[in-house]
Amino acid sequence: MNRFEKAVYDCMIPTANLLKRTTKPLHRAILLNFWRHVHLEGAGEYDKILSPDMIVDKPIYRVTWGATPGVIEGKDGVHAFYNSVGDAVL
């Protein structure tokens, strides 16, 4: 396994450690939703990220890559964003 593959496998260890010591149900739900979101991104399952139990009705994504931050609004915008960067990033 190369260092990039290892980073993918290990990326959620901090979240797992935080989950172990988190007792408030809302905070646990937030962590588990984040965990699911990260893995769905990595799997290219963008439609599942946009399901009602995963995202608010009117999402706003703030993305900072390079010198120009961007704002992506709405489910259609988020879906288009994932489709545009999926091959390059994920």
Residue 88 is part of which domain span? 46-90
Q: How confident is the model at residue 69 (pLDDT cuts 50, 70, 90)?
A: confident
Q: 8 and 37 in one domain?
A: yes
Q: 76 and 57 in one domain?
A: yes
Position 64 scores a pLDDT of 85
Q: 37 and 21 in one domain?
A: yes
Those residues whose C-beta lies under 8 Å from the C-beta of residue 39, and which sit 6 or more positions away, are 12
Is 53 or 28 the better-scoring residue by pLDDT? 28
Element (H, E) at 35: helix 25-42
> What are residue 61's DSSP bridge partners?
72
Task: Please report, for residues 13, 69, 72, the alpha-carbon distance to residue 66 in angstroms, rounded to integers and kept in the order given.
Answer: 27, 7, 16
Position 87 scores a pLDDT of 63
Q: Rounded mean pLDDT of 17-45? A: 91
Considering the chain, what percentage of its residues have pLDDT values greater than 70?
Answer: 94
pLDDT surpasses 90 at 38:
no
Q: 52 and 24 in one domain?
A: no
